[in-house]
Amino acid sequence: MLSIKNLHASVGGKEILKGINLEIKAGEVHAIMGPNGSGKSTLSQVLAGNDAFEVTSGEVTLNGDNLLEKETEERAREGVFLAFQYPVEIPGVSNLQFMRTSVNAMRHHRGEPEMNAAEFMKLAREVSKQVDLDPAFLKRGVNEGFSGGEKKRNEIMQALLLQPKLAILDETDSGLDIDALKVVSDGVNALRAKDRAILMVTHYQRLLDHIVPDYVHVLADGKIVKSGGRELALELEARGYAWLGIKDEATAASSAN
């Protein structure tokens, strides 16, 4: 489904991604792990089409279509979804209005009729239950005043509403307590489907206890340095990134404490 070949990307003239190669088939869940600064978030943002990052070479296709030449909104309409690490707060735009506009943009793209406010409200209430988000949050501004956990649940709610082909989850576990982690993981597991690919980006392996990946890749200094199965994550957990000869300041700092 997703094919990344020799992807190079930079921001402000500094190269962050230095030749990524990755193949993800429909139905698979891949985890990308790596220390801070390895390029995990850059990869997510580049796939979603953030033009703050410049792709300098390489190729990315989604079901054979060149993804890189498409605008962000076109990518989204064709099934790319990014759950943000830090979802932005947008006061003045209600969550409900935002989500309905988004769902209708997708429906319009597929030639389906738009959902009216009442139809959408019904759907949104159902899906908000699935991520344990009080429907009162629908009336608030987008992410406005949400806690870290509520923001992440709001992201997963959008994924459930939009039913993407490729869901990219950027540090979806960060800032979550154990209960919220369970809720978010249940939401992600509900997304698992044979016609959908999931790419999880994470620093720690604890998310992978809840969402078991088919493949694990280790990203370091803009390159995938090792790939394996689930057991690779467990090994990283036990031995740290240093085991692979990777310097990880965050891990080093936390083990020093």
Partner 1 sequence: MKPAPTLLSTAFLHPAGQALPGPLLALRKQRGAALVDMPLPTRKTENWKYSSKYLKLTDEMATSLPTDGKTGSALAVPGYKVVFINGVMVPEASEYPDLNNILIQRFGDLSDAEASELAERLDTTLDTKAVQFAGLNSARFEDGLVIRLKPDAVLDQPLFIIHEVTADASGSAFPRIFVDAGRNSQITLVEEYISSGQEAVFVNSVTEFTLAEGANVTNIRLSMGGENVQHIGATGVTQQRSSRFQSHCVGFGGPLRRHDLQVRLEGEGAECKLNGVVVTQGTQHYDNHTTIEHIAAHCDSEETYRNIAADKSHAVFNGRIHIHQDAQKSNANMNNKNLLLSTGAEIDTKPELEIYADDVKCAHGATIGQLDEESLFYLVSRGISRREANVLLTMAFINELVAQIPVDAVKDTVQTRLNQFFDQAFQEA
Residues of the shown chain interacting with partner 1 in the complex, contacts defined by CB under 8 A:
48-50, 52, 71-73, 76-77, 82, 84, 87-88, 90-93, 97-98, 101-102, 105-106, 109, 141-142, 158, 162
- Which run of H or of E encompasses 66? strand 65-66
> Of the two residues 19 and 141, which places its CB atom closer to partner 1 in the complex?
141
3-state secondary structure of 74: helix
Smallest gap from residue 37 Cβ to partner 1 (A): 20
Q: Which two tokens stand for residue 142?
A: 């987008």
By C-beta, is 81 or 241 nearer to partner 1? 81
Q: At its nearest, how many Å lie between partner 1 and the CB of residue 148?
A: 16
For residue 145 the two structure tokens come to: 């005043």
Given the complex with partner 1, which of 62 and 246 has the nearer CB atom?
62
CB neighbour class for 244 (10 Å; exposed up to 12, middle 13-18, buried from 19): middle
Tell the smallest beta-carbon distance from residue 188 to partner 1 (Å).
18
User: Closest distance between partner 1 and the C-beta of residue 108, in Å?
Assistant: 9
**Which of 12/92 has CB closer to partner 1?**
92
For residue 54, give the 3-state DSSP assignment: strand
The distance of closest approach from Cβ of residue 34 to partner 1 in the complex, given in angstroms and rounded to an integer, is 22
Q: Please give the structure tokens belonging to residue 72.
A: 């962000």
Q: Which is nearer to partner 1, 80 or 220 (CB)?
A: 80
- Among the listed residues 66, 17, 40, the one whose alpha carbon sits nearest the alpha carbon of residue 172: 40
Question: In angstroms, what is the minimal distance from the CB of 218 to partner 1?
Answer: 26
- Which of 108, 182 has the CB closer to partner 1? 108
One-letter amino acid of 244: L
The pairs formed by 71-74 with CB atoms below 8 angstroms and a separation of 24 or more are 72/48, 73/105
Strands across the sheet containing 65-66: 14-24, 2-11, 54-62, 65-66
